[in-house]
């Protein structure tokens, strides 16, 4: 009898409790074994060098760099490692961006374990995991020329992240602390974001995010 090949999974999340919980949960499912962990973007990028890995489960919010930057860095190095993004943020905020960057799927931490396992198994085969919600978002973004031309689409990943964090009520100093950046650097992102969006205040960014359902 041929034994089923175990999927070798790596986890990248800067919260130890979350990593430990995911390891315990995933290792109870037949055919899945967590063999590596990373607590930073730098460590996640190094994991991509391991040819024995079948899938990297990656968080968006890493202390040293944005998850989207990690994906792009891995792809620039021609690494083919399948990546599934597991995030606390709703798909409307990041799904389209992570898929465009080279991830094969996007799932939120509010989904049940069985859905996460399904997503991992699918992505590990090299196929895309697209939930109905994400499929609708992609259809709206790429199926409508006007939507694709929306101002926020021209923001860099960091600028987009800044706008989303401002929209949730965080101040420049709070964002700087959360991202391990200096307030001066975050203020620079603020200036660039407002300029590209044609706005003058954070309140306008908040209004825009709400009006365009970016926080849904």
**Three-state DSSP state, 169:** coil
Q: What is the rounded CA–CA span in Å between residue 79 and residue 113?
A: 27
Question: pLDDT class for 92, splitting at 50, 70, 90?
Answer: confident
Residue 38 CA to residue 189 CA, distance in Å, equals 27
Q: What angle do CA 21, 23, 29 make, to 5 degrees?
A: 110
Residues 105, 119 contacting (CB under 8 angstroms): yes
Q: Which residue has the higher pLDDT, 109 or 143?
A: 109
Q: Which of 1-15, 45-59, 68-82 has the lowest mean pLDDT?
A: 1-15
Class of residue 128 by CB neighbours under 10 A (exposed 0-12, middle 13-18, buried 19+): middle
127-166 per-position pLDDT tens digit: 999 887 888 777 776 665 444 457 887 888 888 889 988 9
Q: Name the token pair of 88.
A: 């606390």
**Chain CA centroid to CA 175, Å:** 17
Long-range contact set of residues 107-116: C-beta below 8 Å, sequence gap at least 24? 107/131, 109/18, 113/25, 116/26, 116/86
């Amino acid at each position: 009898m041929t034994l089923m090949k175990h999927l070798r999974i790596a986890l990248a999340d800067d919260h130890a409790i979350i990593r430990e919980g995911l390891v315990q949960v995933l290792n109870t499912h037949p055919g899945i074994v967590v063999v590596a962990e990373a607590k930073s973007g730098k460590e996640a990028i190094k994991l991509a060098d391991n040819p024995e890995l079948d899938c990297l489960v990656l968080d968006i919010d890493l202390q040293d760099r944005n998850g989207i930057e990690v994906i792009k860095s891995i792809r620039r190095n021609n690494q083919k490692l399948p990546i599934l993004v597991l995030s606390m943020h709703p798909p409307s905020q990041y799904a389209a961006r992570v898929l465009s960057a080279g991830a094969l799927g996007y799932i939120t931490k509010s989904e049940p374990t069985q859905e996460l396992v399904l997503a991992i198994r699918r992505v590990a085969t090299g196929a895309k995991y697209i939930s109905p919600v994400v499929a609708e978002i992609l259809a709206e973004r790429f199926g409508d020329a006007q939507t694709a031309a929306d101002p926020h689409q021209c923001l860099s990943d960091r600028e987009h992240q800044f706008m989303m964090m401002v929209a949730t009520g965080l101040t420049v100093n709070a964002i700087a602390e959360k991202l391990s950046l200096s307030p001066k650097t975050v203020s620079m992102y603020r200036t660039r974001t407002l300029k590209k969006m044609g706005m003058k205040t954070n309140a306008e960014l908040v209004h825009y995010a709400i009006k365009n359902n970016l926080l849904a």
